[in-house]
């Protein structure tokens, strides 16, 4: 889980910051490493007319002797509880002690926010920071130990 905050700048520029809360993992894992907000158009009708965010995700395998296999990776980009985009990946392999970067461009047009989302967006724009959230899950498998025959 990661919170992605878009910081509204002057003119057409904008930047984002990613806040991560993670403990040192003992198993292979996937984490959001960076995000950038490129487009944010909010209409007064209560919808995000256009939003474009790049998200850099990283799959990491700290095992020293076995590869990790990831499948069914699905991350959801959301604002105020409204899912804006779903990011997916085909099954992939990360070698022992390896890292695999995954880059996404998430774009949503005409995403309805509802009453609570509209209030949250207006407050975020007023404060100059628009918080987006990335949550997801994946299936992972890796070899924990081998079997050795003894005579």
Cβ-based neighbours of 109, under 8 Å, separated by 6 or more = 48, 49, 50, 51
Class of domain 2-142: mainly beta
pLDDT by position in tens, the chain (length 151): 454 444 443 333 344 444 444 444 468 999 999 999 999 998 878 889 999 999 999 999 998 888 999 999 999 999 998 899 999 999 999 999 999 999 999 999 988 888 899 999 999 999 989 999 999 999 998 876 655 556 5
**Among 66, 6, 82, which residue's Cα sits nearest to residue 40?**
6
Cβ pair 42, 125 in contact under 8 A: yes
pTM of the model: 0.73
């Amino acid at each position: 889980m990661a919170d992605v905050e878009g910081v509204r700048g002057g003119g057409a520029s904008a930047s984002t910051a990613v806040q991560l809360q993670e403990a040192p993992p003992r198993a292979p894992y996937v984490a959001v490493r960076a995000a950038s907000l490129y487009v944010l158009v909010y209409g007064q009708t209560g919808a995000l007319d256009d939003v474009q965010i790049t998200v850099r995700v990283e799959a990491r395998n700290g095992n020293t002797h076995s590869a990790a296999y990831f499948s069914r990776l699905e991350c959801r980009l959301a604002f105020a509880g409204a899912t804006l985009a779903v990011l997916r990946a085909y099954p992939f392999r990360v070698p022992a002690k390896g890292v695999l970067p995954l880059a996404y461009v998430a774009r949503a047009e005409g995403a309805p926010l509802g009453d609570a989302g509209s209030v949250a967006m207006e407050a975020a724009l007023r404060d100059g920071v628009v918080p987006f959230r990335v949550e997801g899950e994946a299936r992972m498998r890796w070899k924990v130990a081998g079997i050795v025959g003894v005579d």
